[in-house]
Amino acid sequence: MDLANQEWRMLIDGERVAGGKTREVVSPTTGKAIAAVPEATAADAERALAAARRAQRQWGRLAPLERAHVMRRISSLLRREAETLARLIVDEQGKPIAEARGEAAGAAEFFDYFAEFARRIEGQILPSDVADEQIWIQRVPVGVVVGIIPWNYPAALVSRKVAPAMIAGDTIVLKPHELTPLSALFMAGLFVEAGVPAGVVNIVTGSGAAVGETLVRSPVADLVTMTGSVPTGKKIMAAAADNMKPVSLELGGKAPFIVMPDADLELAVRSAITSRFANCGQVCICNERTFVHADIYDRFLEAFVEGTRALRVGDPHSDKTDVGPKVSRGELEKVERYVAGAVSDGARVVLGGKRPQTAPVDGGNWYLPTILTETRPDMSIMRDEIFGPVVPIARFKSFDEVVGIANDSRYGLSAYIFTNDMGKIMRTVRDIDFGEIYVNRIGPESLQGFHVGYRQSGVGGDDGSAGLEIYLKKKTVYVNYSGRPATSLMPY
């Protein structure tokens, strides 16, 4: 695809809209502009919301099976265009092509999975306190959804927000991140080709200050679902409060990766490497801090360094590349500040800790896979989300000690433990206060699971039947068929 000569258009009310001003999209690999996309205005955002409101009633009145038919057409088109989408993900986000192909495949899976709920959105029928009456609790569409997504999974997260909204009978206005809008705009064309009715899915591009603020504060929106950073999540929660609208926020993480002395050491090392360095460490559930029992610490560290040193940093378009560039120069410099701060605090760099001496591609945002030792729980590098290819490692002596350190975090998204001791596994499930626990395995999370965080990792969640609940609201109906006035038995 010739990105520079492609005319990128938003999707508003079923029409592809060019807008006025444009914003450049910069390649993480070369540091050069590769496309120009519309810079939406507040008026564009309001027009998209109005279109979503007009379309919602008719879309919500369709049988869920009819909505599912449209969704399956989308998944079919996503599979047809999977390679094009994967290469687009690489161009704008920088993850290696093998990972991008996985993301493109996952984008299609979301639509297939949520289409299965066409026959599974259930209500309840309850007995009444009076004769000849029933109480129905229905699950109905929440209405107009605003979806805001980050840059680390620019295609899969479109599907993660759009698919559950569609099957629930909602309409949606989605804003991709300014750094990575191309995947969403490409998918917009597939939504049109699949026959999604006008206004059901709208995609607007632009800044959070102008477009995002308008979408979140609008009284037209009935739900805001956002994946991104903690500071942005707090702003969204505050802005949404003006109209008392619900929010679902999946925010940052600081996942502890715990290795017990009885663990399968080879599995733990391999998993720790993959969990930290996939997508250049730009994953909310990734291994952000590694804790290894003192009895096996030296052996683990030796194997971990050896395995990490073997990773190939290079052009993400190559099938041979393991680690691509950081998404932006600002993100690269943030990682450098974290490492410099850790060294200043007493940490020791045993691998990496800098940009490569020779860049794989000139102009890219390159940083070598980095391992830090001699870290302490109070260091910033052990408390703040790095979101980059840097692993701080610490040793521990007892299970109770590491559980206390792991839980002492303002984040609470994902945690990992490697052990074959069933007692330790059960205590982990009971005592580790995180929304997702992975035992002897790493992510990604499954579609049928519930991706949920505690504390500042968010409220609400995504995926599975629990995630779908966010896109529905409950309606209680009292149905009296006696022909007589109903008399309440309650003393009020």
**Residue-by-residue pLDDT tens, the chain, 492 positions:** 677 678 999 999 999 999 789 999 999 999 999 999 999 999 999 999 999 999 999 999 999 999 999 999 999 999 999 999 999 999 999 999 999 999 999 999 999 999 999 999 999 999 999 999 999 999 999 999 999 999 999 999 999 999 999 999 999 999 999 999 999 999 999 999 999 999 999 999 998 888 999 999 999 999 999 999 999 999 999 999 889 999 999 999 999 999 999 999 999 999 999 999 999 999 999 999 999 999 999 999 999 999 999 999 999 999 999 999 999 999 999 999 999 999 999 999 999 999 999 999 999 999 999 999 999 999 999 999 999 999 999 999 999 999 999 999 999 999 999 999 999 999 999 999 999 999 999 999 999 999 999 999 999 999 999 999 999 999 999 999 998 876 665 555
> What phi, psi does 15 have (nearest 5°)?
-110, 145
On whether the CB atoms of residues 96 and 316 are closer than 8 A, the answer is: yes
pLDDT of residue 250: 95
> Which pTM was predicted?
0.95
Structural fold of domain 10-251+457-476:
Aldehyde Dehydrogenase; Chain A, domain 1 (3.40.605)
Query: Could you give the CA distance from residue 312 to residue 82 in angstroms, rounded to a whole number?
Result: 25
**Structure letter (DSSP) for residue 212:** I
pLDDT of residue 148: 97
**Coil vs helix vs strand at 63:** coil
Q: Which long-range contacts (CB under 8 A, 24 or more apart) does 136-139 make?
A: 136/476, 136/477, 136/479, 137/474, 137/475, 137/476, 137/477, 138/474, 138/475, 138/476, 138/477, 139/469, 139/472, 139/473, 139/474, 139/475
Query: Could you give the CA distance from residue 196 to residue 207 in angstroms, rounded to a whole number?
Result: 26
Burial class (CB in 10 A: 0-12, 13-18, 19+), 320: exposed
Query: Could you give the CA distance from residue 365 to residue 352 in angstroms, rounded to a whole number?
Result: 15
CB-facing half-sphere around the CA of 71: CA atoms within 13 A: 29
Chain centre distance of CA 238: 21
pLDDT of residue 5: 75
pLDDT of residue 485: 76
Q: What is the CA radius of gyration of the chain?
A: 24
**Coil vs helix vs strand at 60:** helix
Look up 284 and say whether it is catalytic: yes
Q: What are the tokens at 95? A: 């993850």
pLDDT of residue 488: 60
On whether the CB atoms of residues 172 and 4 are closer than 8 A, the answer is: no
Which residue stretches of 4-142 are H helix? 42-61, 64-80, 82-93, 97-115
pLDDT of residue 210: 85
Cβ atoms within 10 Å, residue 422: 8
pLDDT digits (tens, 9 = 90+) for 435-492: 999 999 999 999 999 999 999 999 999 999 999 999 999 999 999 999 887 666 555 5
Q: One fold for both 10-251+457-476 and 255-439?
A: no
Cβ atoms within 10 Å, residue 133: 15
Query: Could you give the CA distance from residue 92 to residue 87 in angstroms, rounded to a whole number?
Result: 9
Output the CATH code of domain 255-439: 3.40.309.10
Query: Could you give the CA distance from residue 399 to residue 405 in angstroms, rounded to a whole number?
Result: 10
Name the residue with tokens 């005319």. 7
Instruction: Give the containing element (helix H, strand E) for 250.
Output: strand 247-250
360 preceded by cis ω (within 30°)?
Answer: no
pLDDT digits (tens, 9 = 90+) for 71-98: 999 999 999 999 999 999 999 999 999 9
Query: Could you give the CA distance from residue 211 to residue 21 in angstroms, rounded to a whole number?
Result: 13
Name the active-site residue from 284, 286, 331, 436.
284
94 phi-psi bin (left φ>0, alpha ψ -120 to 50, beta other):
left
Q: What are the tokens at 244? A: 């008392």
Q: Tell me the angle at which helices 297-309 and 265-277 cross, rounded to the nearest 10 degrees.
A: 50
What are the residue boundaries of the structural domains of the chain, listed by start? Answer: 10-251+457-476, 255-439
Query: Could you give the CA distance from residue 430 to residue 475 in angstroms, rounded to a whole number?
Result: 35
Name the active-site residue from 39, 250, 288, 436.
250
Q: Tell me the angle at which helices 156-168 and 97-115 cross, rounded to the nearest 10 degrees.
A: 0
Instruction: DSSP for 385-433, please give it.
Output: ---SSEEEEEEES-HHHHHHHHH-SSEESEEEEE---HHHHHHHHHH--
**Coil vs helix vs strand at 201:** strand
Among residues 227, 151, 223, 287, which one has the least CA distance to residue 453? 227
On whether the CB atoms of residues 90 and 316 are closer than 8 A, the answer is: yes
Torsion angle of C-alpha atoms 378, 299, 352, 398, degrees rounded to 10: -10
